[in-house]
């Protein structure tokens, strides 16, 4: 499944990514009783109509391009967990978000705003989890676009071709969150906290890169493939 995602050059990137991710996670399966399931949220209108040619987990560089995307580079990691806290392997994690200028890859948006679009931003990426359930993307910190008050990243989790969850994550503490219709539609403080993500500067980074960690808890326990 999805073999076309992994080209040799991407495999190098991927292995580096997992090392980065592995260092961040030490607790596994603990406090399973306290896990809050990640709330489902609307897919919205901008899931790409046609997937880009490059769909790897690095949204900052398209194929072998040399110009990076505009935005605050973010190392976005986390685990896909089932409701008992066990990692889910072979989960296909898809993300999509607008570029640093507020334009989605979806032709309904980018078609109207070609002069504004950041053509170096991939706009969509995917990652297949291994047994640790971890995912990793290099992307940008989300920014605002017309129609929403809260910057966000869209996520879809699939397994064996079946969609298990469609949701979004947000910048924790961003003032616009409370005015955003989709965010406000999430009922309860615990459920809202479950979609709030810290975007934290990486001290060692000379380029102001950020790290963001978001564990996603699925509602059903998917059968292992
Ligand atoms: Fe959106």
Q: Residue 124 forms beta bridges with which residues?
A: 96
Nearest to 120 by CA among 174, 62, 78: 62
CA of 12 to the centre of ligand 1 (A): 30
Quote the pLDDT of residue 54. Answer: 95
CA of 80 to the centre of ligand 1 (A): 21
CA of 153 to the centre of ligand 1 (A): 7
Question: Full-prediction pTM beyond 0.95?
Answer: no
Q: Tokens standing for 64? A: 């072998």
Structure confidence by residue, pLDDT tens digits, 41-70 = 999 999 999 999 999 999 999 999 999 999
CA of 201 to the centre of ligand 1 (A): 24
Least confident of 1-15, 21-35, 147-161, 163-177: 1-15
CA of 154 to the centre of ligand 1 (A): 6
Structure confidence by residue, pLDDT tens digits, 87-139 = 999 999 999 999 999 999 999 999 999 999 999 999 999 999 999 999 999 99
Quote the pLDDT of residue 218. Answer: 96
User: Residue 13: is its pLDDT beyond 60?
Assistant: no
User: Residue 18: is its pLDDT beyond 90?
Assistant: no
d(CA 43, CA 175): 23
**pLDDT-based confidence at 222, cuts 50/70/90?**
low
User: Residue 72: is its pLDDT beyond 80?
Assistant: yes
CA of 11 to the centre of ligand 1 (A): 29
CA of 19 to the centre of ligand 1 (A): 30
Quote the pLDDT of residue 6. Answer: 42
User: Residue 31: is its pLDDT beyond 90?
Assistant: no
CA of 147 to the centre of ligand 1 (A): 9
CA of 156 to the centre of ligand 1 (A): 12
User: Residue 28: is its pLDDT beyond 90?
Assistant: no
CA of 146 to the centre of ligand 1 (A): 10
Quote the pLDDT of residue 7. Answer: 46
Does 2 or 131 have the greater pLDDT score? 131
Share of the chain above pLDDT 90, in %: 80
CA of 184 to the centre of ligand 1 (A): 15
Average pLDDT, stretch 152-158?
Answer: 98
């Amino acid at each position: 499944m999805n073999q076309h995602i992994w080209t040799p050059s991407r495999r190098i990137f991927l292995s580096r990514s997992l090392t980065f991710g592995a260092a961040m996670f030490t607790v596994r399966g603990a406090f399973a009783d306290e896990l809050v399931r990640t709330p489902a949220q609307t897919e919205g209108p901008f899931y790409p109509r046609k997937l880009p040619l490059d769909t790897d987990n690095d949204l900052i560089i398209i194929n072998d391009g040399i110009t990076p995307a505009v935005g605050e580079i973010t190392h976005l990691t986390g685990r896909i967990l089932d409701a008992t806290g066990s990692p889910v392997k072979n989960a296909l994690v898809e993300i999509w978000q607008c570029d640093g200028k507020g334009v989605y890859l979806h032709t309904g948006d980018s078609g109207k705003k070609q002069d504004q679009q950041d053509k170096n931003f991939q706009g969509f990426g995917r990652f297949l989890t291994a047994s640790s359930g971890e995912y990793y993307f290099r992307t940008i910190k989300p920014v605002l676009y017309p129609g929403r008050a809260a910057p966000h990243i869209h996520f879809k989790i699939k397994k064996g071709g079946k969609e298990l969850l469609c949701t979004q994550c947000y910048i924790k503490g961003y003032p616009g969150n409370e005015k955003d219709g989709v965010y406000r539609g999430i009922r309860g403080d615990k459920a809202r906290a479950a979609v709030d993500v810290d975007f934290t500067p990486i001290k060692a980074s000379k380029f102001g890169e950020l790290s963001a960690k978001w564990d996603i808890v699925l509602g059903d326990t998917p059968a292992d493939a």
